[in-house]
Amino acid sequence: MTDTIGGGQGPAEALAQPGPAVVPASTEQDNARARLHAERAERADELDRTLARLVGAEPDVALLAVGSHGRRELTPGGDVDLVLLHRGRPDIAALADRVWYPIWDSGLRLDHSVRTPDEGRAVAREDLKAATGLISARHVAGDPELTRQVREAVLADWRADSRRRLPELRKLTRRRWEDDGELAFLLEPDLKESRGGLRDVHAIQAVAAAWVAPAPTDRVKDAYSLLLDVRHALHASTGRAGDRLVLQEQETVAGALGLLDAEVLLRAVVEAARTVTFAVDHMWRAVDRFCSPSGRPVRRPLADGVVEHDSEVVLALGADATKDPTLVLRAAAAAAQAGLPLAISTVERLARETPTMPVPWPPEARDALVTLLGAGPPAIGVWEALDQVGLIERLLPDWERVRNRPQRNPVHTYTVDRHLVETAARAAAHTRDVARPDLLLVGALLHDIGKGWPGDHSKTGAVMARDMGERLGFDTADVGVLEAVVRHHLLLPETATRRDLDDPVTIETVAEAVGDPVVLETLAALAIADGLATGPAAWGSWKAGLVAELARRVAGVLAGAPPQVAPEPTSEQLALARHGGGAVRVVGSQITIVAPDRPGLLWQAAGVLALHRLAVRGARSVSWGVGAEGTTALLEFIAVPDYGSGPDPAALEVDLRRILAGRLDVEKRLERRARSYRPRKGVPVPPPRVTMIDDASETATVVEVRAHDRPGLLWRIGHVLGSFGMQVRAARVETLGAEAVDVFYVVDAEGRPVTDGALRASIRTAILEAVR
């Protein structure tokens, strides 16, 4: 029997809802974007007319627009950047005031400068922002010859000094990426400054002006236009100038662009950002070659029909992609194994010429795919190159459903498709730990493939993995392993962190589900790769240790051994127990508490940690008898400070003894903290859920609580259980980003599972009330 109470869908269910695989074009969308383009053009024309009137027919002056107005792309929240040039006029200050003050009075934000041609040229040779602005400056008013003179001089200097200036630009770009992250994989991206954003297209244009790399392609221009329209809609709909697309504004911006919802908006932004990122990465490789010439280009064979040329991978002279459908994967695998990029011309040629892959795939194609994935992190960039020209979807048609699919969960760093590739790249480090490296790599690539369809993504993904395994040419037994791996890819981490490993039912249940040592070892390796590829909040030494211990115990059962009994306490733990009254040991983020067992000890200890501003990331509790001294409880927490330095063990121990003696009112102090707690606005918080699970243990009732994490959450749940006379025999706590999954093995006062229906309903209702 499993009882659940709570409303709405959890994050997993919400993510599994169907959605368009690509952003559909629509008349409404086209009209909305056309209106934005017209608004920008009208704004540019009106501002130009105003500026021309302000400057008038003055001789020996010119007004230049740089930045967004220079490109005629001024959005409602954008700055106006102007340069007033003059040929030594003594009254230039008065003229400047005549231009600047009306602009300020109009409410526009103005960035301005006044220069002679020589001053403008000199500043541009030292100031990178001034240089990149002036090489693309647009004449607005005054003497056009003066504008032409300055632009040509600055542009000539930019080209002459490019080996010095372009590394400066790259340094600034990298710093910007470090500060603002990657646009394609952020829940709240900065449309301008993030990697793959508008600023990167400006960098491509600046490098093109130096004749070092090509200008933006039509595809990049389309991506830029989309990002610019999103920025425009953001400014217009919010009335603010910022460029960060925060969660609470995404639905409004989507509507302003004629898009269905925020999901479609994010997928469009992801697609555009990845296009820009791919182009800017290729551009910087060209800059590297230009700034650090290596002499005669290296040319060496890498695989059949594939060679390295000038630090890129290209097709050999005699290679014929039209007659060799496996050449695309062979070239990709060779590039990844060599740690080199595929040349854009080569990728585009493969996209044009590669015929449809036979189904099932020939063995050499499957081997090339495994070799590509087995290269580890270098495979990611190569995969992205194939993705940019549509080759991935041609090879794996089901990929369309997950491509660019955002994951509205702060635990996840990447979109679904990129997460799959990242997981496969991480799994490459564990291929020597399993009997079938090929099944590990392909299983990692497919483990979340079901997220493009409705329903439980593990179950849906298992069906898709079976079909895709057959498509790739695996035999029946291997297809069965792939199907099991995808179906159960969450089994080990979820069981390890949410079930009592000392309960025989836990181990027997996992062993029955896995059924095969090959599946088990593949799942164990996949759990590591999946956790690392998800994000820092999803994996750590605590979780890794629990998963490894679970896998070890299940392997023993599969080998015929009985489930392992609870381990005896270590000598160190026994020494803590003899400390008397409660002892605390702190090693990094791991906090061990040993104290005489008593009802409510777990949540009392959790309350002490909360008072010390420690956020619990993981917890487990066990009890054992120590001679005639009665039962001793061992509590192990993974807890990190909300801010500042780590906990003081002595202070923790003092407060622990105080609460055990009834001299510390944790509840009142936690309530004061709770009143000052404010959840982040705009972040959707699914409603809490409380589930009672009976088949997870024969000796206890398992209570699983899923809720938004907040200070003292574990205390509140434990306090409710204690108020009903429940004893917590064991507990598991897992915090993933802002969401907590707390699991308690509880028995009544007589040590039996809770079976009374009315009591169970009362407990569930009380917990929900406590965690809302």
Instruction: Give the pLDDT of residue 26.
Output: 66
For residue 343, count other CB atoms closer than 10 A to its CB: 22
Cα–Cα separations (whole angstroms), residue 733 to 6, 72, 233, 506: 19, 54, 42, 16
Instruction: Give the pLDDT of residue 578.
Output: 66
- Tell me the C-alpha distance between 526 and 510, whole Å: 16
Question: What percentage of the chain exceeds 90 in pLDDT?
Answer: 64
Instruction: Give the pLDDT of residue 8.
Output: 38
- Tell me the C-alpha distance between 767 and 772, whole Å: 9
Query: Strands 110-115, 80-86: parallel, antiparallel or unpaired by DSSP?
Result: parallel
Average pLDDT over residues 343-358: 96
Tell me the pLDDT band of 4, cut-offs 50, 70 and 90.
low
Instruction: Give the pLDDT of residue 630.
Output: 64
Whether 581 shows a pLDDT value over 90: the answer reads: no
Q: Give the contacts of 245 (CB within 8 A, at least 6 positions apart).
A: 188, 189, 190, 191, 230, 234, 253, 269
Minimum mean pLDDT range among 64-68, 411-415, 477-481? 411-415
Q: What are phi and psi of 608, to 5 degrees?
A: -60, -45
In three-state secondary structure terms, 614 is strand
Average pLDDT over residues 119-147: 94
Instruction: Give the pLDDT of residue 761.
Output: 94
Average pLDDT over residues 576-581: 64
Q: Could you report the per-residue pLDDT of 454-501, keeping only the tens digit for each?
A: 899 999 999 999 999 999 999 999 999 999 999 999 999 999 988 988
Average pLDDT over residues 261-281: 95
Residue 747's DSSP bridge partners are 727
- Tell me the C-alpha distance between 485 and 480, whole Å: 9
Q: How many CA atoms lie within 13 A of 651 on its CB side?
A: 10
Q: Give the contacts of 566 (CB within 8 A, at least 6 positions apart).
A: 502, 622, 624
Instruction: Give the pLDDT of residue 201.
Output: 97
Cα–Cα separations (whole angstroms), residue 103 to 39, 199, 277, 590, 674: 19, 25, 36, 59, 48
Question: What percentage of the chain exceeds 70 in pLDDT?
Answer: 92
Q: Could you report the per-residue pLDDT of 434-453, keeping only the tens digit for each?
A: 999 999 999 999 999 999 89
User: Among 462, 423, 465, which residue's Cα sits nearest to residue 445?
Assistant: 423
Domain made up of 577-771: CATH architecture: 2-Layer Sandwich (3.30)
Look up the pTM and report it: 0.84
CA 426 to chain centre: 15
The DSSP call for residue 192 is T
Q: Where are the domains of the chain?
A: 27-160, 164-291, 401-565, 577-771
User: Among 396, 343, 393, 405, which residue's Cα sits nearest to residue 366?
Assistant: 396
Tell me the pLDDT band of 17, cut-offs 50, 70 and 90.
very low
The DSSP call for residue 428 is G
Q: What are phi and psi of 742, to 5 degrees?
A: -110, 130
Whether 644 shows a pLDDT value over 60: the answer reads: yes
Instruction: Give the pLDDT of residue 674.
Output: 63
Q: Give the contacts of 330 (CB within 8 A, at least 6 positions apart).
A: 303, 304, 305, 306, 364, 368
**Residue with the larger pLDDT of the pair 391 and 503:** 391
Instruction: Give the pLDDT of residue 654.
Output: 86
- Answer whether 114's CB lies under 8 Å from 84's CB: yes
Whether 515 shows a pLDDT value over 60: the answer reads: yes
Q: Could you report the per-residue pLDDT of 726-749, keeping only the tens digit for each?
A: 888 777 888 776 778 889 888 888
Amino acid letter, 78: G
Whether 544 shows a pLDDT value over 50: the answer reads: yes
Average pLDDT over residues 19-48: 81
Whether 678 shows a pLDDT value over 50: the answer reads: yes
Rg value, the chain, Cα? 31
- Tell me the C-alpha distance between 324 and 321, whole Å: 5
- The answer to whether domain 164-291 has CATH 1.20.140.10 is no
Whether 49 shows a pLDDT value over 60: the answer reads: yes
The DSSP call for residue 449 is G
Q: What are phi and psi of 600, to 5 degrees?
A: 85, 5
Whether 679 shows a pLDDT value over 60: the answer reads: no
Fold of 27-160: Beta Polymerase; domain 2 (3.30.460)
DSSP string, 662-710: T---HHHHHHHHHHH--PPTT---PPPEEEEESTT-SSSEEEEEEEE--
- Tell me the C-alpha distance between 209 and 155, whole Å: 8
Query: Strands 80-86, 299-303: parallel, antiparallel or unpaired by DSSP?
Result: unpaired
Q: What are phi and psi of 631, to 5 degrees?
A: -90, 140
The DSSP call for residue 448 is T
Q: Could you report the per-residue pLDDT of 587-629, keeping only the tens digit for each?
A: 888 888 888 877 778 888 888 888 888 877 767 777 776 544 5
Q: Could you report the per-residue pLDDT of 682-708, keeping only the tens digit for each?
A: 455 678 999 999 888 988 999 999 988
- Tell me the C-alpha distance between 208 and 215, whole Å: 5
Instruction: Give the pLDDT of residue 177.
Output: 95
Instruction: Give the pLDDT of residue 9.
Output: 36
